[in-house]
Chains A and B, each alone.
Chain A
Amino acid sequence: MVCRGSGKIVGVDVGGTFTDLILLDPLSGEVRLSKVPSTTENQAFGALSALEQVAEDLAEIDLIVHGTTTTTNAVLERKLSKTGLITTRGFRDVLELGRRTRPSPYGMTGKFEPIVSREFRLEVDERIDAEGRVVTPLNENEVADAARELLEAECESVVIHFLHAYANPAHELHAARVVQEVWPNEYITTGHSLLSESREFERGVTAAVNASVQPLLEVYIRQLVEELHANGYSGEVLVMNGNGGMVSSHYVAREAAKTVMSGPASGVKAAAYTGSRAGFRNLLTYDMGGTSSDVALILDAEPAVSNEIEIEYAMPIHVPMVDVRTVGAGGGSIAKINPGGLLEVGPESAGANPGPICYGNGGTKPTISDANLLLGRLNPEKFASLQSSSSIEMVEELFERELGAPLGINAVGAAEAVVRIANTKMAGAIRMVSISLGADPRDFALFAFGGAGPLHATALARELAVPKVLIPARPGITNALGCVVADLRHDFVNTVNKPLDAIDIDDVHAVFERQIREGENLINGEKIAIKEINRFYSVDMQFVGQTHLLRVDLDFPTPSTHELRAAFEDAYFKRFKVDLQEIRVNLVNINTSVVGRRSELDLSTLIDPKGKKLSLSEAETGYRRVFFNSEWHRTPVYWRDHLPSNLQLKGPAIIEQMDSTTVLEPGDYAECDDDGNMIITIGTSL
């Protein structure tokens, strides 16, 4: 544990388009923000230039926490290190065959590119059965030959993935030693090491993703740290993981797969932190982007975590990650009239290029963003200043022609319809996410962030019957904030998979104890000051004969058999309205998360208190016509940073800030809290 001077903390998140940075000085309360374009070739450039904007002297900074999309992009774009696979004879195609699926229920087409090319997938004699018994001994010579072949083919990393290694890892460990001798190599991933569970495709893909992004992440982080040090920084660099926790840069590459999807995870982590300070411990988060939106659930101030995430079609990465679900509607979603004469929004998107019409990059198809502009929700001046090749008149004309004429309404009516249909679909998708995680959306508050989240938040809340909406002080830098407030976190899963009545409950207690000890050792080994350690216990259970699992949270790690059964039956009835006393219960997984909490950060300066005005009228920047409920309303527009701290604002209103726009519909009512969050009570009528 190191205690250093200033205590200044930097969170820097590299996203698809922008690199966002936040610098917090807990002593003075000073907050500095910067936003620069992401540099896709080497993300370190963007991170450094963002740093330069806020700090003259990097030596003054105590801690840098970094969120990177290096590994996510590498996987999604298949720009991976050349990776070899050594596997059980007869099974080299497992990574390519997948689980016999297709991308959508209808349409007999699809494409899939495996992580490891077939020419680098080599087989060796060895076999272990489901009970962990050796059926065929490992052929060392074949392993050595395979390693040489992959080395000659200029592979950078290697996966050793054998059937049933979760039951007995001896062959994988042995093979790893043989490979190491032939080909001394830091990038050897054994299948069982990240995920010790059955299911050869999921375990194999997880291991292959790890191996194929390790060299990339290692090189990137090393360069970044070197650059930082060359510029005078001497502190720790921590890297965000997909579970919403962070890990030291020294170790991050070892389990590189865990950094995949860390960007969305840090956003949700920031939401949990911000919401908890504001007194909202149960949240649905909504982050609306250009082509899609991310939805997640926070229960009792903790983001829901899953170890069964599939990040795209047939690409499961089964390490614990914040359960962020993507819904296919974003600002760029295209609206059109189908041949039946109905208005449809999405799933096609104008993407970033050409993007919506109003971006002026040649887009000609009506999108959700364009509709918001026509309805007065977005500021037309902001777009007018961007480019001269598009104008609000052009947007209007295209809406009239493409949508309005076929529907027999004008352009504004069409725009309202687009927003309404889009909101209905997005609300439906949020509801599906929520109920598939076993939660009724009405029991939550909606936390909206990202550039466009706050634009739709009140309408979505109304649609979902969610009573309250939270808009954080800085919706556009939520992911960077997540880096700053993240905890040290380690998740453990042990599979039992036995009927409850056949289990010695002492063994269960022993597993919990081992998980706790391991997690605490890891956290105490990090050079980061922590305030306290929290532990979270849960079990995954099912009725014997079922395949789906239900997660049951436990308050303590020493439950009796009877308590486990009762807790499960309760949870099951609550979820499915079904009681099944006649059937036995299986205990499948025992889970512990050990979380090292850092000292609480004060977020009250995210919006500079000195900038706040004393009265609402001083924060007003003008009026514009905004279309609500089929008519124009003369609507006041406010500058967020100027809103008084004792805000009492009745909708309709538009609140603008650098990185986002919030819409308050007629009947809604907004207040501010000490951290500068806007807390909106949804009106009963519109």
Chain B
Amino acid sequence: MSIDAITLGVIQAGLQQVCDEMDLSFSRAAFSPVIAEANDRSDGIYSAADGALIAQGAGGLPVFVGTMQYSTRTLIRMIEKGEVPAPRPGDIYIVNDPYLGGTHLMDVRFARPFYREGKIFCWLSNTGHWPDTGGSVPGGFSASATAVEQEGLRLPPVRLFKEGELDREIYSIICSNIRVADQRIGDVKAQAAALLVGEERLNALIDRYGDATVSAAIDDLRTRAATQMRAYIRDIPDGIYESVAIVDSDGVVNEPLEIRLAITSQGDELTFDFAGSSPPCRGPMNSVLATTHSSIYLAMRHIFPEVPISAGAFEPLNIIRPADTFLDAQYPRPVSGCAAEVSQRIAEAVFAALAEPLPERVTAAPAGTSGNFALGGNDPERDRDYVMYQISGGGYGGNYLHDGLSNGCSTIGISKAPPVEIMEQAFPVLFHQYALHEGSGGAGRMRGGFGLEYEVEVRRGQAQASFVMDHGRVGPQGALGGKEGGKNKVTVWRDGIAHIPDHFSKEQNIALNAGDRVHVRTPGGGGYGEPFERDPNLVLEDVRLGRYSVEEARELFGVVIVGPPLAADLTQTNKLRGPIVNEPSV
């Protein structure tokens, strides 16, 4: 059955609409702030045959762009093999096993078969980040777990809803194994209701255009997404593009982990090879295969945002399985850091490799860490225990046209930071500073954006601080001659004595007393292009606004600033910068 291009366009918009409505419904009804505020969730439609991604909500968390089709595919295979009971209408499977097409344990997937005339037409599925799934630390981000069992409760695919009814027995097992269980019922119902919204809307769409037409359109759209991606890839000259990205450590063994990536461009396909990357690690920085794939997809979508989110768009991307590296974690390797940190380093490797052939599209490396600082303790004034998360942003990389954005959210996220006032209402802390991380923008013709600098004091009681961050060993890399952005820096002040984590950006359970402080500076973005080609007036402006010192202007950009009143001394600047190799672009 052939469908005209206009009907295709209309059905494509319709499928997208179904997913966007699921996203909206899920976020608005959810309890967990991670879902409701940070939109750490995603909803989509997947094929009945193999779980291939048909459409996914535009506002879904980027890191889920590729994982959910793996999760759905695995579920379908397990059903076929009889390892999981066969579905009936109204069933919803729950699964959070990382090794079955997931990320980390906190990302809980629901999948619901969608029937037409008694047969499964496709699957509706969503992922939501639960605030806790048990394990050794509240929230699940243990920096020093050495096995997945320490990270929380692991669920194989089981039917949490059977023919529309919540299975209270399974639910009570879950609740007995997680913290703050009393509010989870709200999230479970919100997550299930979003799939119902999807079912209702998808039925309306198919009723209007017909089962055969929609079915054929789905196939055709997949082909066209592939064609579109291939067209963009053809613009990348044939060749091999290599990069390296460094993870500070795995949190247990204090040695850097290396991602070595070689992207081969040939015709209209790209092949991603991670050969030579570090072996599986002891700590929680292992990435499961689905997350490794998803990280490549989300990086490609950052580069080509106009390509629809569809399995077709991934077809021209061949990924060689990175067996025996930390990017292909096997049970029982711990994986809590894969979705938030390693995924961003994989994306950085993709950006770094493709900056040369795609200079107008690719930016220098962004901060690339979720900057997770967890503080757990007891507030004697309110007589209660608490767990606080401070998730931070950082600078984005400079790009062809502009300087990088300051304090943007992570590469894999889309969330808003909570205000200082809300944090202080909820927890016994006092912030002393919340400011631009001065000097952190990587030098370049277009400089990187600036990171964040904050200092927070524990006001009452005892507490323990844990950090899962990255880019403390090396900063986010520059592109095309640009320099790296400022590093992530953590200093813990106990009784007035500074403590710097051995692993730079990772440490667990540092004991704090009232009056102790935590000082964090997050990474700036990498610079783009030669710093000495930057317009001296722009450097002067940055110095005037206190973003760089006079010394930094001189050392990083070769611009001599005199005054007050501040001015750029062009004669001295030209002398310092030496002969001009390339004409500065205007």
Residues of chain A touching chain B, judged by Cβ–Cβ distance below 8 Å, are 90-94, 96-102, 104-112, 117-119, 127, 129-130, 135, 163-164, 166, 198-202, 338-344, 407, 416-417, 420-421, 424-425, 428, 431-432, 435-436, 543-548, 575-578, 580, 582-583
Return the contact of B393 from the options A92, A100, A104 (Cβ within 8 A): A100
Is B228 among interface residues, defined by CB-CB distance under 8 A? yes
Bitwise, B39-70 to A at CB < 8 A (1) or not (0) is 00000000000000000001110100000000
Is B405 among interface residues, defined by CB-CB distance under 8 A? yes
Chain A nearest CB from B435 CB (Å) reads 4
Is B305 among interface residues, defined by CB-CB distance under 8 A? yes
Bitwise, B526-547 to A at CB < 8 A (1) or not (0) is 0000000000000000001111
- Measured between beta carbons, the chain A residues less than 8 angstroms from B6 are 343, 407, 416-417, 420-421
- Measured between beta carbons, the chain B residues less than 8 angstroms from A90 are 431-435, 455
Q: B231 to A339, Cβ gap below 8 A?
A: yes
Name which of B118-126, B181-189, B510-518 contacts chain A: B181-189
**Complex A-B: 24 CB contacts under 8 Å:** A91-B433, A96-B407, A97-B434, A99-B417, A100-B407, A102-B405, A106-B302, A109-B405, A111-B405, A112-B405, A112-B406, A130-B425, A200-B420, A339-B230, A407-B5, A428-B13, A431-B17, A432-B21, A435-B24, A548-B28, A576-B193, A578-B186, A578-B193, A583-B182
Is B363 among interface residues, defined by CB-CB distance under 8 A? yes
User: How many B residues have CB within 8 A of the partner chain?
Assistant: 86
Bitwise, B404-439 to A at CB < 8 A (1) or not (0) is 111111010011110111101100001111111000
Is B232 among interface residues, defined by CB-CB distance under 8 A? yes
Chain B nearest CB from A105 CB (Å) reads 5
CA distance A112 to B231 in the complex (A): 32
Chain A, Cβ-Cβ closest to B407: A97
Q: B13 to A118, Cβ gap below 8 A?
A: no
Is B89 among interface residues, defined by CB-CB distance under 8 A? no
- Report which residue of A100, A545, A577 has the largest number of chain B beta carbons within 10 angstroms of its beta carbon: A100
Name which of B152-160, B276-284, B394-402 contacts chain A: B394-402
Return the contact of A547 from the options B37, B227, B431 (Cβ within 8 A): B37
- Measured between beta carbons, the chain A residues less than 8 angstroms from B228 are 338-340, 342
Chain A, Cβ-Cβ closest to B298: A106
Return the contact of A580 from the options B17, B59, B186, B546 (Cβ within 8 A): B186
CA distance A98 to B436 in the complex (A): 11
- Measured between beta carbons, the chain A residues less than 8 angstroms from B435 are 90-93, 97
Return the contact of A198 from the options B182, B298, B419 (Cβ within 8 A): B419
Is B9 among interface residues, defined by CB-CB distance under 8 A? yes
- Known A101-B409, A421-B6: A198·B425 in contact at CB below 8 Å: yes
The 10 closest A-B pairs by CB, nearest first: A340-B228, A339-B231, A100-B393, A340-B224, A100-B417, A90-B433, A106-B305, A110-B405, A99-B416, A417-B6
Task: Identify whether the interface residues of A are mostly helix, strand, loop, or mixed.
Answer: loop
Return the contact of B31 from the options A424, A545, A575 (Cβ within 8 A): A545
- Measured between beta carbons, the chain B residues less than 8 angstroms from A582 are 182, 185
Q: A118 to B545, Cβ gap below 8 A?
A: yes
Return the contact of A98 from the options B13, B60, B196, B407 (Cβ within 8 A): B407
Is B218 among interface residues, defined by CB-CB distance under 8 A? no
- Measured between beta carbons, the chain B residues less than 8 angstroms from A105 are 58-60, 62, 414
Return the contact of B190 from the options A92, A166, A578 (Cβ within 8 A): A578
CA distance A545 to B180 in the complex (A): 10
Q: A97 to B36, Cβ gap below 8 A?
A: no
CA distance A407 to B224 in the complex (A): 13
Q: B402 to A97, Cβ gap below 8 A?
A: no
Q: B31 to A342, Cβ gap below 8 A?
A: no
Chain B, Cβ-Cβ closest to A583: B186
Chain B nearest CB from A427 CB (Å) reads 9
- Measured between beta carbons, the chain B residues less than 8 angstroms from A548 are 27-29, 36
Is B392 among interface residues, defined by CB-CB distance under 8 A? yes
Return the contact of B17 from the options A93, A111, A129, A428 (Cβ within 8 A): A428
Bitwise, B144-188 to A at CB < 8 A (1) or not (0) is 000000000000000000000000000000000000001101100
Chain A, Cβ-Cβ closest to B29: A576
Q: B416 to A100, Cβ gap below 8 A?
A: yes
- Measured between beta carbons, the chain B residues less than 8 angstroms from A421 are 6, 9-10, 13
Q: B302 to A108, Cβ gap below 8 A?
A: yes
Bitwise, B298-341 to A at CB < 8 A (1) or not (0) is 10011001100000000000000000000000000000000000
Q: B421 to A199, Cβ gap below 8 A?
A: yes
Q: B224 to A108, Cβ gap below 8 A?
A: no
Q: B434 to A578, Cβ gap below 8 A?
A: no
- Measured between beta carbons, the chain B residues less than 8 angstroms from A92 are 435
Chain B, Cβ-Cβ closest to A579: B189
Return the contact of B366 from the options A108, A166, A432 (Cβ within 8 A): A108
Return the contact of A100 from the options B225, B306, B408, B424 (Cβ within 8 A): B408
Given A90-B435, A101-B416, A129-B424, 11 extra CB contacts under 8 A: A99-B416, A198-B425, A202-B419, A343-B5, A407-B5, A424-B13, A548-B27, A548-B36, A576-B28, A578-B190, A578-B193
Chain A nearest CB from B6 CB (Å) reads 4
Restricting to B432-466, which residues have a CB under 8 Å from any CB of A?
432-436, 452, 455
Q: B231 to A107, Cβ gap below 8 A?
A: no
Q: B306 to A338, Cβ gap below 8 A?
A: yes
Is B107 among interface residues, defined by CB-CB distance under 8 A? no
Q: B183 to A545, Cβ gap below 8 A?
A: yes
- Known A342-B5, A436-B24, A547-B37: A109·B424 in contact at CB below 8 Å: no
Chain A, Cβ-Cβ closest to B305: A106
Chain B nearest CB from A149 CB (Å) reads 14
Q: B232 to A129, Cβ gap below 8 A?
A: no
- Report which residue of B10, B37, B227 has the largest number of chain A beta carbons within 10 angstroms of its beta carbon: B10
Chain B, Cβ-Cβ closest to A429: B17
CA distance A108 to B366 in the complex (A): 8
- Report which residue of A343, A432, A545 has the largest number of chain B beta carbons within 10 angstroms of its beta carbon: A545
Is B239 among interface residues, defined by CB-CB distance under 8 A? no
Q: A97 to B8, Cβ gap below 8 A?
A: no
- Measured between beta carbons, the chain B residues less than 8 angstroms from A576 are 25, 28-29, 190, 193
Return the contact of A545 from the options B12, B186, B420, B421 (Cβ within 8 A): B186
